Amino acid sequence: MTAAVVFFNILLGLVYTMYGTMTLLEMARSHQTRGFSHFGAAWIAMAFTCGPHHWAHGIHVIEGSTAVGTLDLVAVLFGLPAGVIWFALRVEAYRGGRGDRHVSGTPGWLMALPTVFGIYVTALVAAAIGLGATIGDATVGVIANFMLVGLYSAIGYYLARTQLANRRPLGGWSLSGLALAVVFPTCAVMHGIYAFYELNGTYLPDGHMTAIDVLAVPAAMYFLWVVHALYRGDFRDWNGAPGTERSGSDEPPGPSPGPTFKRTPPKALPGASLGTVAAPEAPLDARMSARP
Protein backbone atom coordinates (compact mmCIF):
# COMPACT_ATOMS: atom_id res chain seq x y z
CA MET A 1 0.00 0.00 0.00
CA THR A 2 2.89 2.37 0.71
CA ALA A 3 4.14 2.03 -2.87
CA ALA A 4 0.63 2.79 -4.22
CA VAL A 5 0.26 5.92 -2.06
CA VAL A 6 3.67 7.16 -3.21
CA PHE A 7 3.04 6.36 -6.88
CA PHE A 8 -0.39 7.98 -7.16
CA ASN A 9 0.56 11.08 -5.17
CA ILE A 10 3.66 11.62 -7.29
CA LEU A 11 1.56 11.02 -10.41
CA LEU A 12 -1.04 13.59 -9.34
CA GLY A 13 1.70 16.06 -8.49
CA LEU A 14 3.19 15.58 -11.95
CA VAL A 15 -0.19 16.02 -13.68
CA TYR A 16 -1.01 19.24 -11.81
CA THR A 17 2.45 20.66 -12.47
CA MET A 18 2.26 19.80 -16.18
CA TYR A 19 -1.17 21.37 -16.55
CA GLY A 20 -0.08 24.50 -14.72
CA THR A 21 2.92 24.76 -17.05
CA MET A 22 0.72 24.26 -20.13
CA THR A 23 -1.61 27.03 -18.96
CA LEU A 24 1.33 29.34 -18.25
CA LEU A 25 2.74 28.79 -21.75
CA GLU A 26 -0.69 29.36 -23.32
CA MET A 27 -1.09 32.66 -21.48
CA ALA A 28 2.43 33.75 -22.41
CA ARG A 29 1.67 33.05 -26.09
CA SER A 30 -1.64 34.89 -26.10
CA HIS A 31 -1.40 37.78 -23.64
CA GLN A 32 -0.37 40.40 -26.23
CA THR A 33 -3.31 39.68 -28.52
CA ARG A 34 -5.94 38.36 -26.11
CA GLY A 35 -5.08 40.10 -22.88
CA PHE A 36 -4.97 38.80 -19.33
CA SER A 37 -6.93 35.69 -18.38
CA HIS A 38 -8.27 35.47 -14.85
CA PHE A 39 -9.24 31.85 -15.37
CA GLY A 40 -5.77 30.95 -16.57
CA ALA A 41 -4.08 32.80 -13.71
CA ALA A 42 -6.40 31.20 -11.15
CA TRP A 43 -5.77 27.75 -12.56
CA ILE A 44 -1.98 28.29 -12.51
CA ALA A 45 -2.21 29.27 -8.83
CA MET A 46 -4.29 26.16 -8.14
CA ALA A 47 -2.02 23.80 -10.11
CA PHE A 48 1.17 25.10 -8.50
CA THR A 49 -0.23 24.55 -5.00
CA CYS A 50 -2.10 21.26 -5.58
CA GLY A 51 0.88 19.76 -7.40
CA PRO A 52 3.42 20.48 -4.61
CA HIS A 53 0.93 19.16 -2.02
CA HIS A 54 0.96 15.73 -3.68
CA TRP A 55 4.69 15.88 -4.46
CA ALA A 56 5.57 16.66 -0.85
CA HIS A 57 3.16 14.07 0.55
CA GLY A 58 4.59 11.32 -1.68
CA ILE A 59 8.18 12.27 -0.86
CA HIS A 60 7.47 12.30 2.88
CA VAL A 61 5.99 8.80 2.64
CA ILE A 62 9.14 7.64 0.80
CA GLU A 63 11.33 9.15 3.51
CA GLY A 64 9.26 7.45 6.20
CA SER A 65 8.48 10.74 7.94
CA THR A 66 4.76 10.29 7.21
CA ALA A 67 2.63 7.24 7.91
CA VAL A 68 0.34 5.72 5.28
CA GLY A 69 -3.40 6.15 5.63
CA THR A 70 -5.70 3.70 3.88
CA LEU A 71 -8.39 6.32 3.34
CA ASP A 72 -5.79 8.52 1.66
CA LEU A 73 -5.26 5.90 -1.04
CA VAL A 74 -9.01 5.33 -1.44
CA ALA A 75 -9.59 9.06 -1.99
CA VAL A 76 -6.84 9.32 -4.60
CA LEU A 77 -8.09 6.27 -6.53
CA PHE A 78 -11.71 7.47 -6.49
CA GLY A 79 -10.82 10.86 -7.94
CA LEU A 80 -8.30 9.53 -10.47
CA PRO A 81 -10.64 8.67 -13.42
CA ALA A 82 -12.15 12.18 -13.62
CA GLY A 83 -8.71 13.73 -13.30
CA VAL A 84 -7.31 11.59 -16.11
CA ILE A 85 -10.22 12.48 -18.42
CA TRP A 86 -9.88 16.19 -17.67
CA PHE A 87 -6.11 16.16 -18.19
CA ALA A 88 -6.31 14.17 -21.45
CA LEU A 89 -8.87 16.62 -22.88
CA ARG A 90 -6.74 19.60 -21.85
CA VAL A 91 -3.68 18.10 -23.53
CA GLU A 92 -5.78 17.57 -26.67
CA ALA A 93 -6.90 21.21 -26.59
CA TYR A 94 -3.34 22.42 -26.03
CA ARG A 95 -2.20 20.50 -29.11
CA GLY A 96 -4.92 22.12 -31.22
CA GLY A 97 -7.69 19.54 -30.89
CA ARG A 98 -11.27 19.87 -29.70
CA GLY A 99 -10.50 19.37 -26.03
CA ASP A 100 -14.04 18.20 -25.23
CA ARG A 101 -16.74 15.69 -26.13
CA HIS A 102 -20.51 16.07 -26.21
CA VAL A 103 -22.44 13.59 -24.06
CA SER A 104 -25.95 13.26 -25.52
CA GLY A 105 -28.95 12.84 -23.26
CA THR A 106 -28.36 11.63 -19.71
CA PRO A 107 -26.76 8.16 -19.69
CA GLY A 108 -27.18 5.82 -16.75
CA TRP A 109 -23.62 6.24 -15.46
CA LEU A 110 -24.16 9.99 -15.23
CA MET A 111 -27.48 9.61 -13.38
CA ALA A 112 -25.74 7.30 -10.89
CA LEU A 113 -22.89 9.73 -10.10
CA PRO A 114 -24.63 11.69 -7.27
CA THR A 115 -25.73 8.47 -5.56
CA VAL A 116 -22.29 6.89 -5.93
CA PHE A 117 -20.60 9.99 -4.55
CA GLY A 118 -23.04 10.10 -1.61
CA ILE A 119 -22.34 6.46 -0.78
CA TYR A 120 -18.60 7.11 -1.11
CA VAL A 121 -18.60 10.05 1.32
CA THR A 122 -20.85 8.20 3.79
CA ALA A 123 -18.52 5.18 3.72
CA LEU A 124 -15.47 7.38 4.33
CA VAL A 125 -17.11 9.10 7.30
CA ALA A 126 -18.13 5.72 8.76
CA ALA A 127 -14.60 4.40 8.28
CA ALA A 128 -13.12 7.47 9.97
CA ILE A 129 -15.46 7.07 12.93
CA GLY A 130 -14.59 3.39 13.07
CA LEU A 131 -10.90 4.16 13.50
CA GLY A 132 -11.75 5.39 16.99
CA ALA A 133 -8.64 7.54 17.25
CA THR A 134 -8.36 10.39 19.74
CA ILE A 135 -8.78 13.77 18.08
CA GLY A 136 -6.10 16.30 18.97
CA ASP A 137 -5.86 20.07 18.68
CA ALA A 138 -6.32 21.65 15.27
CA THR A 139 -3.05 22.91 13.80
CA VAL A 140 -2.63 25.59 11.13
CA GLY A 141 -2.36 22.82 8.53
CA VAL A 142 -5.62 21.23 9.70
CA ILE A 143 -7.46 24.55 9.55
CA ALA A 144 -6.09 25.24 6.05
CA ASN A 145 -7.18 21.82 4.82
CA PHE A 146 -10.68 22.21 6.24
CA MET A 147 -10.91 25.62 4.53
CA LEU A 148 -9.92 23.93 1.26
CA VAL A 149 -12.71 21.39 1.79
CA GLY A 150 -15.24 24.23 1.84
CA LEU A 151 -13.68 26.17 -1.04
CA TYR A 152 -13.33 23.17 -3.35
CA SER A 153 -16.88 22.07 -2.55
CA ALA A 154 -18.16 25.55 -3.47
CA ILE A 155 -16.22 25.49 -6.75
CA GLY A 156 -17.63 22.07 -7.53
CA TYR A 157 -21.14 23.37 -6.82
CA TYR A 158 -20.87 26.13 -9.44
CA LEU A 159 -19.31 23.79 -11.98
CA ALA A 160 -22.09 21.24 -11.50
CA ARG A 161 -24.81 23.89 -11.57
CA THR A 162 -23.59 25.31 -14.86
CA GLN A 163 -23.74 21.84 -16.38
CA LEU A 164 -27.30 21.35 -15.13
CA ALA A 165 -28.34 24.78 -16.38
CA ASN A 166 -27.18 24.05 -19.91
CA ARG A 167 -28.18 20.42 -20.23
CA ARG A 168 -31.47 21.18 -21.99
CA PRO A 169 -30.24 24.01 -24.27
CA LEU A 170 -27.27 21.90 -25.38
CA GLY A 171 -29.16 18.63 -25.59
CA GLY A 172 -26.60 16.97 -23.36
CA TRP A 173 -23.46 17.57 -21.37
CA SER A 174 -19.85 18.62 -21.74
CA LEU A 175 -17.46 15.78 -20.83
CA SER A 176 -14.78 18.32 -19.93
CA GLY A 177 -17.16 20.23 -17.70
CA LEU A 178 -18.45 17.06 -16.05
CA ALA A 179 -14.91 15.85 -15.35
CA LEU A 180 -13.94 19.14 -13.74
CA ALA A 181 -17.17 19.18 -11.74
CA VAL A 182 -16.13 15.81 -10.28
CA VAL A 183 -12.46 16.72 -9.75
CA PHE A 184 -13.10 19.48 -7.23
CA PRO A 185 -15.43 17.59 -4.84
CA THR A 186 -13.03 14.64 -4.85
CA CYS A 187 -10.16 17.04 -4.09
CA ALA A 188 -12.25 18.40 -1.21
CA VAL A 189 -12.60 14.87 0.16
CA MET A 190 -8.84 14.30 -0.14
CA HIS A 191 -8.08 17.40 1.91
CA GLY A 192 -10.73 16.42 4.45
CA ILE A 193 -9.04 13.04 4.90
CA TYR A 194 -5.61 14.66 5.21
CA ALA A 195 -6.96 17.01 7.92
CA PHE A 196 -8.55 14.07 9.75
CA TYR A 197 -5.31 12.05 9.73
CA GLU A 198 -3.39 15.04 11.07
CA LEU A 199 -6.00 15.53 13.78
CA ASN A 200 -5.79 11.93 14.97
CA GLY A 201 -2.01 11.83 14.84
CA THR A 202 -1.55 9.51 11.84
CA TYR A 203 0.07 12.38 9.94
CA LEU A 204 2.42 14.55 11.99
CA PRO A 205 2.36 18.33 11.43
CA ASP A 206 4.89 19.21 8.76
CA GLY A 207 6.24 22.63 7.84
CA HIS A 208 6.38 21.91 4.10
CA MET A 209 2.81 20.63 3.90
CA THR A 210 1.50 23.41 6.12
CA ALA A 211 3.13 26.12 3.99
CA ILE A 212 1.79 24.60 0.77
CA ASP A 213 -1.75 24.19 2.10
CA VAL A 214 -1.84 27.71 3.56
CA LEU A 215 -0.81 29.11 0.16
CA ALA A 216 -3.47 26.95 -1.48
CA VAL A 217 -6.24 28.75 0.44
CA PRO A 218 -5.93 32.16 -1.31
CA ALA A 219 -5.38 30.32 -4.61
CA ALA A 220 -8.68 28.47 -4.10
CA MET A 221 -10.42 31.72 -3.09
CA TYR A 222 -9.25 33.36 -6.29
CA PHE A 223 -10.38 30.37 -8.36
CA LEU A 224 -13.79 30.42 -6.68
CA TRP A 225 -14.15 34.15 -7.36
CA VAL A 226 -13.30 33.64 -11.05
CA VAL A 227 -15.66 30.69 -11.50
CA HIS A 228 -18.48 32.53 -9.73
CA ALA A 229 -17.91 35.71 -11.79
CA LEU A 230 -17.90 33.76 -15.05
CA TYR A 231 -20.98 31.86 -13.93
CA ARG A 232 -22.81 35.13 -13.32
CA GLY A 233 -21.50 36.66 -16.55
CA ASP A 234 -19.76 39.50 -14.70
CA PHE A 235 -16.89 39.41 -17.18
CA ARG A 236 -15.71 37.47 -20.22
CA ASP A 237 -12.47 35.51 -20.25
CA TRP A 238 -10.93 34.25 -23.49
CA ASN A 239 -9.33 31.40 -21.59
CA GLY A 240 -12.80 30.22 -20.64
CA ALA A 241 -14.12 30.23 -24.22
CA PRO A 242 -12.22 27.98 -26.64
CA GLY A 243 -12.35 29.15 -30.23
CA THR A 244 -13.43 32.69 -29.33
CA GLU A 245 -10.94 35.48 -29.89
CA ARG A 246 -10.80 38.66 -27.85
CA SER A 247 -12.57 41.67 -29.27
CA GLY A 248 -10.25 43.62 -31.57
CA SER A 249 -7.71 40.85 -31.89
CA ASP A 250 -6.37 39.84 -35.29
CA GLU A 251 -5.19 36.49 -33.98
CA PRO A 252 -7.07 33.51 -35.42
CA PRO A 253 -9.25 31.71 -32.93
CA GLY A 254 -7.58 28.76 -31.30
CA PRO A 255 -7.99 26.27 -28.49
CA SER A 256 -7.39 27.30 -24.94
CA PRO A 257 -6.43 25.26 -21.90
CA GLY A 258 -9.56 26.28 -20.07
CA PRO A 259 -13.20 25.21 -20.34
CA THR A 260 -16.00 27.17 -21.97
CA PHE A 261 -18.35 29.45 -20.10
CA LYS A 262 -21.37 30.79 -22.00
CA ARG A 263 -24.58 32.53 -21.10
CA THR A 264 -27.61 30.29 -21.22
CA PRO A 265 -30.67 31.00 -23.34
CA PRO A 266 -33.91 32.21 -21.75
CA LYS A 267 -35.68 29.81 -19.39
CA ALA A 268 -32.34 28.26 -18.36
CA LEU A 269 -30.78 29.08 -15.04
CA PRO A 270 -28.80 32.33 -15.22
CA GLY A 271 -25.06 32.00 -15.50
CA ALA A 272 -22.48 30.36 -17.68
CA SER A 273 -21.63 26.93 -19.00
CA LEU A 274 -18.31 25.35 -18.17
CA GLY A 275 -16.63 23.19 -20.76
CA THR A 276 -19.47 23.19 -23.28
CA VAL A 277 -19.18 21.96 -26.84
CA ALA A 278 -21.37 22.56 -29.83
CA ALA A 279 -24.79 20.97 -29.98
CA PRO A 280 -24.91 17.69 -31.94
CA GLU A 281 -26.36 19.27 -35.07
CA ALA A 282 -23.49 21.77 -35.33
CA PRO A 283 -20.03 20.94 -36.77
CA LEU A 284 -17.90 18.98 -34.34
CA ASP A 285 -15.18 21.63 -34.24
CA ALA A 286 -17.59 24.48 -33.51
CA ARG A 287 -17.73 26.13 -30.12
CA MET A 288 -20.91 27.53 -28.60
CA SER A 289 -20.05 30.82 -26.99
CA ALA A 290 -21.71 34.20 -26.78
CA ARG A 291 -20.38 37.64 -25.96
CA PRO A 292 -21.96 39.31 -22.92
For the segment 9-30, the average pLDDT, to the nearest whole number, is 87
CB 8 within 8 A of CB 77: yes
Q: What is the pLDDT of residue 134?
A: 60
Q: What is the pLDDT of residue 44?
A: 92
Q: What percent of the chain has pLDDT over 70?
A: 79
CB 239 within 8 A of CB 39: yes
* pLDDT tens digits for range 39-89: 889 999 999 999 999 988 888 888 776 777 788 889 888 988 888 898 898
For the segment 169-175, the average pLDDT, to the nearest whole number, is 86
* pLDDT tens digits for range 232-279: 877 777 665 333 333 333 333 333 434 444 444 333 333 333 443 333
- Residue 67 CB burial class (10 angstroms; 0-12, 13-18, ≥19): middle
Q: What is the dihedral of CA 213, 215, 218, 222, to 10 degrees?
A: -100
Q: What is the pLDDT of residue 273?
A: 36
Would you say residue 283 has pLDDT above 50?
no
Backbone angles phi and psi of 64, in degrees to 5: 85, 5
Q: What is the pLDDT of residue 187?
A: 93
pTM over 0.85: no
Would you say residue 212 has pLDDT above 80?
yes
Q: What is the pLDDT of residue 210?
A: 92
Distance in angstroms (rounded) separating the CA atoms of residues 214 and 144: 6
* pLDDT tens digits for range 109-150: 999 999 999 999 999 888 888 776 566 678 899 999 999 999
Q: What is the pLDDT of residue 259?
A: 46
Q: What is the pLDDT of residue 65?
A: 64
* pLDDT tens digits for range 93-106: 888 888 888 898 88
Q: What is the pLDDT of residue 119?
A: 94
